[in-house]
Amino acid sequence: MKTLHLAIIVIACIVSISTTWYFTSYDSIPATTRNDFGINALVIHHPASMGCPTTDCHFPDYYLKINSNSKTFITGYDICDGNLCAKKDELFIPLPVVDALHPNYQEIPLPDNLSWKDGDFVNIKVKAPSSAISCIRISSCNATFWIDLGTSEIVRSS
């Protein structure tokens, strides 16, 4: 009888924790593959030894390298490899516009706890406004969407 009560308590705990996790991690903002701004992104890897003139400095290992075909900004990103995700909301990062003569990218540092490797594939989603005039200030940006930019290979920075 004690075993039955213990099993019921354990199952109830697992169900309540799973339910809580699902509802707290659920994002109600719609996702789309429609990319009206022509946003381009990939994840680059800067090895720890690159660009560090002393031994006690630290820079992130991974960056989201991003730009767009027209003026816009992103308010979040969600990058996953199937096992591990890097997700950030409540950003306001203007994106440089693609210029064939002078390529320009925004590099956004990603968290340090990523165990990705060069050549791994990740799916990149960014949160952006639905149109250029939908947001004047970040506080008025309620018309944002997750734009699924698709799968990208992690590349080493040169």
* Residue 144, domain CATH: 2.60.40
pLDDT at residue 14 in the model = 75
The parent domain of residue 135 ranges over 30-156
Q: Is residue 17 part of a domain?
A: no
Number of domains within the chain:
1
Q: Is residue 136 part of a domain?
A: yes
pLDDT at residue 143 in the model = 66
Instruction: Tell me if 63 sits within 8 A of 43, measured CB to CB.
Output: yes
Q: Is residue 25 part of a domain?
A: no
Average confidence (pLDDT) per 10 residues, the chain, 158 residues: 76 66 51 88 80 65 93 94 91 89 89 90 91 49 80 89
pLDDT at residue 134 in the model = 45
pLDDT at residue 155 in the model = 94
CA distance 5 to 93: 53
Closest among 138, 145, 124, 144 to 77, alpha carbons compared: 124
What is the signed CA dihedral for 82, 88, 92, 96, rounded to 10 degrees?
Answer: -30
Instruction: Tell me if 66 sits within 8 A of 40, measured CB to CB.
Output: yes
pLDDT at residue 95 in the model = 93
